[in-house]
Chain A
Amino acid sequence: MNVTATLFGQMITFIVFVWFIKAYLWEPLTDAMDSRTKKISDGLAAAEQGQKKIEQATIEFSTRIDEAKTKASVIITDAESKSKTIVEEARVSAREEAQKIAKTSAQQLEQEVNAAREKLKSDIAALSLLCAEKIITKEVDKNMHDQIINEVINK
């Protein structure tokens, strides 16, 4: 083999070929592949983060739910006991009130009865006096009349 123009021609072809591949294929394709690699790894990282967030949210959710449940049950028991006490109190006060009312009404009644009795007594006395006056004006028989008056009063 001699050193010929063919050799140099092939060398030039080779060098141009390498340059062309580097400029028009290798570099853009490498960039594209790198950006894809980055995108994929970013996406995977984001997905993992999302998964983590979901897990955290689930945990938080369940704790919140538990808290709410306990709170609710506390509130319910509270309310129940409160309502019981209120009802009890109401019952007690109602009873007391009723007793009071009954008592006062009984006293009043007694007073009124007494008053009526007193009034009746005085009325009867007045009436008897009136009767006595009338009788006296007609005939005076003190003993007999006294006996009658006493009988009336005692009645």
Chain B
Amino acid sequence: MDNKAPATDSPVEYIQHHLTPLSAGEGFWQINMDTMFFSMLLAGIVMFIAYRVGKNISPGAPSGMQNVLESLMDFVNSLVKEAFPKPNKIVGPIGLTIFVWVLLMNAMDLIPVDLLPKLADMAGIHYLKVVPTTDPHTTFAMSLSIFLLCIYYNVKIKGFGGYMKSFMVHPFGIYLAPVNFVLTLVEELAKPLSLALRLFGNMFTGELVFLLIALLPWYIIPIPGSLWAIFHILVITLQAFIFMVLTIMYISMASEESH
């Protein structure tokens, strides 16, 4: 039982060790190598599959991966059509990308918590966070990109003046403009913040629970471990779905003509 000793001896250290990203650089130039690596790896895999399917589309009789992607597209499209009165070319791809990417990044959570860090440890890498969505950088990167797109749509549809006006007159009318401005600003800022923190929080706590389960004696681990993993499949899918739906909703709200 020597190889389990460090975990059970100092659980706090074990958990902290697991939650420390593999990072390089200081301050602004801090780059979380593990987050970047795994998110890009998953994105690359999806892009590769997408490229192959996109190059060899058979319009008549789809099969295999094309079927999977088509049903995913239909699923995303039905949500987009509900939210958008007029067709929008970019929301569908964004929704699909978010759903697939977040789902896959979350699914990294289901790989046994010690497996990849141990392998990396053997290869000389001593810190490794496997799940990119437990890194707020990832979730904020997505939510801020969407936030910027929302601002773009707001300005494009309402005009800059119209957008500013919506800050002033909503929700109490023009006579309480300062209050309105603060309230709307908070409301707008809360959107990307809640979007990013919801996903991050769910994945982080999920990972934490896996780590806590891993601290149990080996003969107890399978029961809570498998139960939590099964439950976590639901959480993973749900969080990916919520992220996608809220993204679509936010963009549709931003591209509405007026309040």
Contact = CB atoms under 8 A, between A and B. Distances in A.
A1 B101 contact: no
Nearest to B30: A4
Nearest to A19: B93
Main secondary structure of the interface of B (DSSP, over half): helix
Contacts of B132: 10
Interface stretch (B134-142, B174-182, B227-235): B134-142
25 contacts: A1-B137, A4-B30, A5-B25, A5-B31, A10-B141, A11-B144, A14-B97, A14-B145, A15-B145, A16-B43, A21-B47, A21-B97, A22-B89, A22-B93, A24-B50, A24-B51, A24-B55, A25-B53, A25-B69, A28-B54, A29-B54, A32-B58, A32-B59, A35-B59, A36-B60
Contact of B137 (A6, A15, A25): A6
Interface in B14-44: 23, 25, 27-32, 35-36, 39-40, 43
Contact of B141 (A2, A13, A29): A13
A20 interface: yes
A20 to B, nearest CB: 5
Interface residues of A, number: 31
A5 B30 contact: yes
A21 B29 contact: no
A139 B47 CA distance: 168
A10 B27 CA distance: 17
Contacts of B28: 2-5
Contacts of A3: 28
Nearest to B139: A10
The winner among A16, A17, A36 for most chain B CB atoms within 10 A is A17
Nearest to B32: A6
B70 A29 contact: yes
Contacts of B46: 17, 21
B53 A13 contact: no
A17 B47 contact: yes
